[in-house]
Chains A and B, each alone.
Chain A
């Protein structure tokens, strides 16, 4: 019982929650001043559909991402990214970035390990870009419930080529502007 209480307390006593709550209060008060109480009530109820979608989709997507995270070993991801900087390496980096779930604290340590081991710029930067732009879990968990299916479809179709091109551009820039000596030994 105590742990359930602690769990809910950690939700309320959260910095981001406090900031968003203040923004909600300010917007609500402004809306009340400008347009009256009925408009506030209507705005409050306007999210019914989104609430339903979040409640039905998000628990499954979060659990799926947690399961994939424990099943997918770090070694496997490192193997995918270590294939090299050819066509196959860059395609695998794009794929790995889009489908490896987990936050930045999981992603960057893997990249750092490969970086120190001397991996090429192109696959590493392709992986980071793909992980940030195309991440499938972020699309399912955060994007679809709020903006619907159409925007993510447009976005994935028009951005899928971005990570490899960003990776290759980074390699080109690194040739013109080489890293300072000893950069990889940090």
Chain B
């Protein structure tokens, strides 16, 4: 699976040369936007990794395993959805946290539900950006529709994990 790294590099370089030759002004815009987003990876991400490394040995593994482990089943999925609802942090902080939970014994199906729930509700994005732009009715409709469907994502993940034969 590590072969994906050179593949992505190859695709990026080809696309960069194409853009640079055919649309020089668009290439400059892209590089400026690249420099802007790269800041997150020079600052927040390394710091979040260090924080996650320090947090990992402090997290009680047996508790995480009991609440979110593979044996927790439907209850684990519902707990995961609740936890996902309560973590209003952006991706550079959220995914190191997922790595901590994974290391502490959380199961793939429970984390699938947790990440789906965080994606759908993500309070920092929903309240800060979506609500002012789209209005109350749109957000309420989207969240109501998602609420009804979300538990199924974790339940479907249980046979998917078995079928793939993955174990965290």
Counting residue pairs across A and B whose Cβ atoms lie within 8 Å, the total is 238
List A1-57 residues whose CB lies under 8 Å from chain B: 7-8, 10-12, 14, 16-17, 20-21, 23-24, 27-28, 30-31, 34-35, 39-40, 43-44, 46-47, 50-51, 53-54, 56-57
A76 at the interface (CB under 8 A from B): no
Contact residues in B for A146 (Cβ distance below 8 Å): 49, 95-96, 98-99
Q: How many angstroms between the C-alpha atoms of A70 and B19 in the bound complex?
A: 9
A94 at the interface (CB under 8 A from B): no
Contact residues in B for A60 (Cβ distance below 8 Å): 5, 8-9, 12
Judge whether A143 and B8 touch: CB under 8 Å: no
Q: How many angstroms between the C-alpha atoms of A164 and B47 in the bound complex?
A: 37
Q: How many angstroms between the C-alpha atoms of A138 and B102 in the bound complex?
A: 19
Count A-side interface residues using an 8 Å CB cutoff: 87
Contact residues in B for A77 (Cβ distance below 8 Å): none
Q: Which residue of A lies closest to B98 (CB)?
A: A147
Judge whether A67 and B108 touch: CB under 8 Å: no
Q: How many angstroms between the C-alpha atoms of A112 and B29 in the bound complex?
A: 24
Q: Which residue of A lies closest to B38 (CB)?
A: A62
A residues neighboring B (CB under 8 Å): 7-8, 10-12, 14, 16-17, 20-21, 23-24, 27-28, 30-31, 34-35, 39-40, 43-44, 46-47, 50-51, 53-54, 56-71, 104-105, 108-109, 111-112, 115, 121, 124-125, 128-129, 132-133, 138, 140, 142-147, 149-151, 153-155, 157-159, 162, 165-167, 169-170, 173-174, 179-180, 183, 186
B residues neighboring A (CB under 8 Å): 1, 4-5, 8-9, 11-12, 15-16, 19, 23, 26-27, 29-31, 33-35, 37-39, 41-58, 90-96, 98-99, 102, 108-109, 111-112, 115-116, 119-120, 122, 125, 129-130, 133-135, 137-138, 141-142, 144-146, 148-150, 152-154, 156-157, 160-161, 164, 166, 168
